[in-house]
Amino acid sequence: MSSIDGSAVRKLVVACDAGMGSSVMLAGQLRRELRKLPVVVEHHPVAAIPADADVVLCQAGLAARARSGAPGAVVVGFRLFLGDPRVAQVVAAVKSGGPVVGTPGG
């Protein structure tokens, strides 16, 4: 399991696979929440995560694929697109400088 201090996050990627729009909405929400910080929030398919991503947020079922496609990033899997505690923890850590800890397994 990897981790990064939230204050060191410069690129946060929301990765998806289904293309249903929920992850795009999450990326937009995160952009608004983090707009005052020097953090870029992007949305990418799980098969095309940029190499410079510091943190990747994706549905828990995609975490193993995201981890293999972005070995240098901290991958955080979540279950709910809105109101998931893992996403809230990442946002809080980026805002306050706490640890962002990747989820174990796949």
Supply the pLDDT for residue 40.
98
> Is 58 in the active site?
no
Beta strands at 40-45 and 55-59: parallel, antiparallel or unpaired: unpaired
Distance CA 64, CA 27 (A): 20
> Hey, what CATH class is 8-101 in?
alpha beta
Q: Return d(Cα 63, Cα 76) in angstroms, integer.
A: 7
- Express each pLDDT in 30-62 by its tens digit: 999 999 999 999 999 999 999 999 999 999 999
Task: Please list, residue by residue across 76-100, b when 16 or more beta carbons sit within 10 angstroms of its beta carbon and e when fewer do.
Answer: bbbeebeebebbebbbebbeeeeeb
Tell me how far CA of residue 42 lies from CA of 1, 7, 15, in angstroms: 23, 18, 9
> Which of 21 and 68 is assigned the larger pLDDT?
68
Q: Where are the domains of the chain?
A: 8-101
Strands (E), 46-84: 55-59, 74-78
Asked whether the predicted pLDDT for residue 12 surpasses 80, the reply is yes
Catalytic residue, chosen from 9, 12, 14, 16, is 16
